[in-house]
Amino acid sequence: MKKAYLLLSVPVLAMTLSLPAIAQDSVTGIRGLNDRLEDIEDDVADDMDRSNDEARFGFPEYQPGFSGSASLGYSAQTGNTDTQDFSLGVRMRYAQGQWVQTLGVAADFSESEGVKTEEDIFAVYDGNYYFNDRFYAFALARAQRDGLAFGADEFSRDGFIGVGPGYRVINTPQTAWRLQAGVGVSYLRDGLGQSETETGYIASSRFFYEFSDSMFVTNDTDVLSSDSALRANNDLGVNFKITEGLSTRVSYLTDYNDARAIKTDNRLGVSLVVGF
């Protein structure tokens, strides 16, 4: 059975203008526009943040103990249409000595006219043990559940867990390059009750180079090999801070999977933030 693994987030092609929120009745359309602008701003901010890898540099200097954040959203509408939407996001981090552990959970549930339209749960655990400022070991686990992929009574599960060592080849304020590799186990269950478990081998590279205070480049590569297929992702990004109020990121993502008829997909992403 052919399977796809989530290794990298796809960059967003978006342009946004930061505007203050205007509280007016939705009849004017301004409220809907504000909501859409906020969604675009969030997407662009996420794309920018992907280039700022917290583990690119040096020995971890996280706040000791427990820290994190949580977000919760709910909306309901009655009248011509009856809908409900619920979303939950939790990010937790625990740092103690040389251990740094993070857990992220996202859940989305939607219902329209009494029928479920979305029921997704996604969780990722990332644990790192730092032996020194160069060498570390990682443990990565992810689980995803799509409750509506095959109907109301069936659901799919996609899980992966992997472990291995990592090493910082270059670690300076201007240049950072780290490599990590390991072995993992993948589990896939479809809505028909069929499941498959197989071994996968992971290799990753994270490269950062700063040309100046206002420009840096990143190149992130992930490779996963298993009996099903060889998959590889490469995300090349150039980040510019043009002025205090203007910054942009241009990225080029290549996604390879030899189990597909067309093995390679390429995507250009441009994110621009303007503030005044």
Could you give phi then psi for residue 229, rounded to 5 degrees? Answer: -175, 165
Going by pLDDT thresholds of 50, 70 and 90, the confidence category of residue 18 is: very low
Are 77 and 130 in a shared domain? yes
Residue type, 8: L
Q: Which of 194, 210, 228 is the last residue of a domain?
A: 228
Going by pLDDT thresholds of 50, 70 and 90, the confidence category of residue 181 is: very high
**What CA–CA distances, in Å, run from 69 to 40, 51, 56, 85, 258?**
22, 21, 22, 21, 39
Which of 132, 194, 164, 144 lies closest to 2, judged by CA?
194
CA–CA dist 205, 181 (Å, integer)? 9
CA–CA dist 68, 91 (Å, integer)? 5
In-domain check, residue 269: yes
Is 90 exceeded by the pLDDT of residue 179? yes
Range(s) of the domain holding residue 271:
1-47+230-276
Are 160 and 29 in a shared domain? no
Six-digit token pair at 199? Answer: 């071994």
Are 35 and 99 in a shared domain? no
Distance of CA 195 to the CA centre of its chain: 25
E strand or H helix at 31 = helix 30-50
Are 204 and 255 in a shared domain? no
Which of 259, 206, 249, 256 lies closest to 229, judged by CA?
259
What 3-state class would DSSP assign to 75?
A: strand
Which of 58, 17, 96, 74 lies closest to 273, judged by CA?
17
Count: domains in the chain: 2
Which of 271, 229, 275, 243 lies closest to 1, judged by CA?
229
In-domain check, residue 134: yes
Q: pTM (2 decimals)?
A: 0.65
In-domain check, residue 191: yes
CA–CA dist 114, 53 (Å, integer)? 42
pLDDT in tens, 87-136: 888 888 888 888 888 888 888 888 887 788 777 888 888 888 989 888 99
Are 96 and 158 in a shared domain? yes
In-domain check, residue 56: no
For residue 183, the model assigns a pLDDT of: 92
pLDDT in tens, 190-224: 666 677 788 888 888 989 898 888 888 989 898 88
Is 70 exceeded by the pLDDT of residue 33? no
Six-digit token pair at 18? Answer: 């930061």
* Beta pairing class for 175-189 and 156-171: antiparallel
In-domain check, residue 7: yes
Which of 91, 92, 85 lies closest to 120, judged by CA?
85
